[in-house]
Structures are given as C-alpha cells and as structure tokens.
Amino acid sequence: MTKTYRMALLTGTLLAGPALAESTLTIESWRNDDLAIWQETLIPAFEAAHPDIKVVFAPSAPAEYNAALNSKLAAGSAGDLITCRPFDASLELYNQGHLTDLSGLAAMANFSPVAKSAWQTDDGSATFCVPMASVIHGFIYNADAFAELGIEVPKTRDEFFAALDKIKADGTYIPMAMGTNDQWEAATMAYNNIGPNYWKGEEGRLALIKGEQKLTDEGWVAPFRELAKWKDYLGDGFEAQTYPDSQNLFTLGRAAIYPAGSWEISGFNTQAQFKMGAFPPPVAAEGDTCYISDHTDIGIGMNAKSPNPEAAKTFLEWVGSPEFATLYANALPGFFSLNSTPVEMADPLAKEFVSWRQKCQSTIRSTYQILSRGTPNLENETWNASANVIRGSETPEDAAKRLQEGLASWYEPQK
C-alpha cells in the first residue's frame, strides 16, 4: 500500500518535470500602476503567440526601484528583464555588466537614434535597452472650470498668469494643484516643464553639457523666476501637499490647472468626472517657437545573468515590434511609443499631448544625460532647489548659483 503510494508520488514528480521546463520570465519595474495592464493586456497577447514562455510582471515602488534593483542585481536575485530608467542609471548597470548588449536585436531597427540615445553608451556603440515610451510635459486643465469662468486656453505667459489671477479672484477653484512636500514635482513637472521655452530646448541642454552655457545664465535662471511666482497660486499649505494630494485635488475638481506629465492621463481619465484639456507650456509672445519636454522615460533590457536568455530575447523582440507599440500606447495613454511606426491612439487627451510634437521642438529633461553623474547629483539638487524657490526660501539667483557651483565642482567642461 505505502509502496504504491510512494510510486505514485514519484511518478507524479517525474511527470511534473517536463511541464515545468517552459521558461518563466520575470520583469522588474517601477511602474506598479501598470500591473493590471501588463497582466490583462500585454502578457496575454505575448503568451498567446509564445505559449512556451510565461511572463511575470513584478514591480516595486517607484521611489525604491533603483536602490532595490541595484541590490537585487548585486545579489544575483533580480528578474530576467529589467525596466530601464533612461541614461546614467541604466548605463551604469550596463558598465557593471548587469545588462546585456542588445544592439544585435532585429527590433532595434524600429527605433530612431534619438529614441535609442537614452540607453546607449556615450559613443553609441552598444544599445542595452529596447526603448518603450516617452512622456510629454504640459498642463492639464479642468475644461468645465475654464468654461464656467470664461477663460481661454492660455498661449502666452501673460495669458497664463492672467488666467491664474482670474481663477484666484473667483475663489471657487485652487488655481494650480502642486505641492512641494515630495520635491520631485517641483523639478520634473515645474522646472523641466516650463524650462525648455527659456533655454530653447536641445540648444540650451547641449550647450550646458558642452560647457558653453552655465546654470547661472539667464535661460536657466528665468524658469526659477517664473516658479517663484507660482507660490501665490498654489493651495493653502502647499508646503506639506504631497504628489497624491495634488492628483486628488485636481481629479476631485477642486483645482483648475495641474502641471502634468502625460503619464497622468490614464489615472485622470478614470478618476475625474469633468472634461479635461491640455496645453503646452506657454511661450513669451504669441508665435514664438515652443519647446516641450518629450522625455525618453522607459525602456526594457535583459539581465546579463538571466537563466533564460533566448526566451528573454524573444520577449524583447516582441517589445520592439509595432504590435507591442500599438497595444502599449493605447493601454497606457500618455506613454507615447518611441517606435518609428506611427501608432494610432484613441484617447483625446493623449492625442492633444502628442500633437505638440508637430508644432513644438522636442527636448528631454536637462539633468538626465551626463550631468547627474557626479556628487552632488544635479537632478537631486534640482529637486531641492526648485522646491526651495517655489516655497520662497531661496531666491532664483541663489538657487541657480548653488546648482552651478555643485555641477562645476566635478564636471570638467563647467569648470
């Protein structure tokens, strides 16, 4: 009796072996907001075409992602596929041998050099992540509130501040929903949102990298001056207002304008009960060239120590395909595909954001490429400086001077 039972168990184990032989890929990501989209849309689409590969999406919290990923990679317990932050964070992982060179992937031909630049070595010889999406900065507004107060969508800075004044005078809505508690919104959704119009996008950004411009130049201080004026239009107690607080204030209809990144679109669509619109950062005078931050934000690469390199490459080829681009861009309106094949999107707000690519010059966030390699870290310092300027605890000039001193302390071309 016992013997038969044991035999049965043993046979069971042996039979289970081949069934487990199919490879399982684990994706590391900071996009925990996208869990449902991966599980319900993207992974089933892939698994339908590749029944022998199972994919698990295992995200961690955005603020902890980099630290957690670095520790996991060092310990050898990271997943097969690594969602890549743009520029130096991923470049460092590649240099340390944690990411595989993917230049040989056929799907790489589907991406423009600009799209790939965020995940390449400085000389462009190796590309280590497949570009997935970029995000565009601008302002999302409550269209119902604008109609109610008779406000036109502002095109110039004067119109923008006139609109804010009008909303403030009316008092029904908080003019602008942003806080300084978490600091990063001040840098990402404020400084790098309105800044490109002042430093002329790529022109200023590249000049800064070459050392031809300084952070104390007018083009880089002026956005701080504009931020200092924002203070009066933010809600009561904005100093302690967190990012989720701002999101909720806007989607509950208590604030009229939200300095945004396009990644907010899908969340806002489900939360907000009113009509929304979007406008790009206003320019100085009507007809001026406009510049937008169209930031290469997210890519995906392969863990060099992955036990399933073939399966992982199959998956990455699929991520680089137009099929994935269409699925992803429509499942996540606001994450704009970097694929050269044009993607048809259905969401009106996402369409509005992406339409700015036609009329404005695109650039990426100023601090991301090369300039945040040293200590002090320019990106983190910019968070701090932007938040200080908005709170009014540091003047725009002092903030710019401090950033320049920090950058010049380690970055050769700025010395």
Partner 1 sequence: MAARKPVRWHIAVFLAPAVAVYTAIMIVPLFGTLLQSLFNTDGQGGRMFVGLRNFATLFGDALWSRQFWNALGNNAWFFVVHMLVQNPIGVALAAILSTPRLRMAAFYRTAIFIPTILSFVIVGFVWKLILSPIWGIAPGMLDMVGLKSLFAPWLGKEEYALTTLALVSVWQFVGIPMMLIYAALLSIPDEVIEAAEMDGITGMSQFWKIKLPLILPSIGIISILTFVGNFNAFDLIYVSQGALAGPDYSTDILGTFLYRTFFGFQLQLGDPYMGSAIAGAMFGIILVGVCLYLFGIQTRLRRYQF
CB nearer to partner 1: give 134 or 241.
241
Considering only the stretches 174-182, 225-233, 277-285, 286-294, report the one whose residues sit in contact with partner 1 under the rule CB under 8 A: 174-182
Candidate list 16, 36, 63, 147; residue touching partner 1; CB under 8 A:
63
Q: Is 249 in the site for partner 1 (CB under 8 A)?
A: yes
Nearer to partner 1, 354 or 399 (CB): 399
67 scored as a contact of partner 1 (CB under 8 A) = yes
Determine which residue in the list 154, 179, 261, 320 makes contact with partner 1, applying CB under 8 A.
179
Task: Decide if residue 209 touches partner 1 (CB under 8 A).
Answer: no
**Cβ neighbours for 156, distance < 8 A, ≥ 6 positions apart:** 282, 283, 284, 285, 286
Backbone φ, ψ for residue 101 (5° rounding): -70, 125
CB of 67 to partner 1, least distance (A): 4
The Cβ-side half-sphere exposure at 104, using a 13 Å CA radius, reads 5
Shortest CB 403 distance to partner 1, Å:
13
- Binders of partner 1 among residues 69 to 108 (CB under 8 A) are 70-71, 85, 87-89, 92, 96-97
CB of 239 to partner 1, least distance (A): 3
Report the alpha-carbon distance of residue 391 to residue 16 in Å, rounded.
Answer: 62
Closest Cα to residue 367, out of 293, 269, 283?
Answer: 293
Residue range at the interface with partner 1 (CB under 8 A); choices 6-14, 67-75, 115-123, 333-341: 67-75
Burial 68-83 (b: 16+ CB within 10 A, else e): ebbebbeeeebbbbbb
Which C-beta is closer to partner 1: that of 65 or that of 324? 65
First to last CA, the chain: 83
Among 29, 142, 262, 372, binds partner 1 (CB under 8 A): 372
Candidate segments 298-306, 334-342, 347-355, 365-373, binder of partner 1 by CB under 8 A:
365-373
- Least separation in angstroms between residue 154's CB and partner 1 is 25
CB of 75 to partner 1, least distance (A): 13
**Residue from 239, 317, 323, 347 in contact with partner 1 (CB under 8 A):** 239
How far apart CA 197 and CA 273 sit, in angstroms, is 32
Which of 121, 330, 377, 395 forms a contact with partner 1 (CB under 8 A)? Answer: 377
Q: How far apart are CA 5 and CA 7, in angstroms?
A: 5
Q: Which is nearer to partner 1, 298 or 312 (CB)?
A: 298
Task: Compute the least distance from the CB of residue 107 to partner 1, in Å.
Answer: 27
Distance CA 390, CA 241 (A): 13
The β-bridge partners of 303 are: 99
Establish if 387 lies at the interface with partner 1 (CB under 8 A).
yes
3-state secondary structure of 278: strand
The CA dihedral of 204, 209, 211, 216, to the nearest 10 degrees, is: 60
The reply to whether 175 sits near partner 1 by the rule CB under 8 A is no
User: Residue 113, class by beta-carbon neighbours within 10 Å (0-12 exposed, 13-18 middle, 19+ buried)?
Assistant: exposed
Find the binder of partner 1 among 32, 112, 172, 242 (CB under 8 A): 242
Beta strand 255-261 with 129-142 is antiparallel
What does the angle CA 279 – CA 388 – CA 231 come to, to the nearest 5 degrees? Answer: 50
Among 162-170, 215-223, 236-244, 306-314, which window interacts with partner 1 (CB under 8 A)?
A: 236-244
- Among 39, 340, 341, 409, the residue binding partner 1 under the rule CB under 8 A is 409
Measured CA distances, 33 to 52, 65, 139, 188, 291 (Å): 27, 13, 21, 19, 29
Kindly indicate which of the ranges 41-49, 63-71, 273-281, 344-352 contains the residues binding partner 1, using the contact rule CB under 8 A.
Answer: 63-71
What beta strand segments (E) does 209-323 contain?
255-261, 276-279, 291-302
Q: Would you state the structure tokens that stand for residue 383, as one six-digit string?
A: 């968070």
Contact 142, 273 (CB under 8 A): no
- For residue 376, whether the previous peptide bond is cis, meaning omega lies within 30 degrees of 0, is yes
Does 395 help bind partner 1 (rule: CB under 8 A)? no
Q: Does 393 bind partner 1 (CB under 8 A)?
A: yes
Q: Is 223 in the site for partner 1 (CB under 8 A)?
A: no
Of 184, 191, 220, 315, the one binding partner 1 (CB under 8 A) is: 184
Amino acid at 153: V
271 binds partner 1 (CB under 8 A): no
Please tell me the total number of residues recorded for the chain in this structure.
Answer: 415
Q: What is the Cα–Cα distance from 390 to 181, expressed in whole angstroms?
A: 11
Residues of this chain that bind partner 1 (CB under 8 A): 63, 66-67, 70-71, 85, 87-89, 92, 96-97, 179-184, 235-242, 245, 249, 367-368, 372, 375-377, 379-380, 383-384, 387-388, 391, 393-394, 406, 409
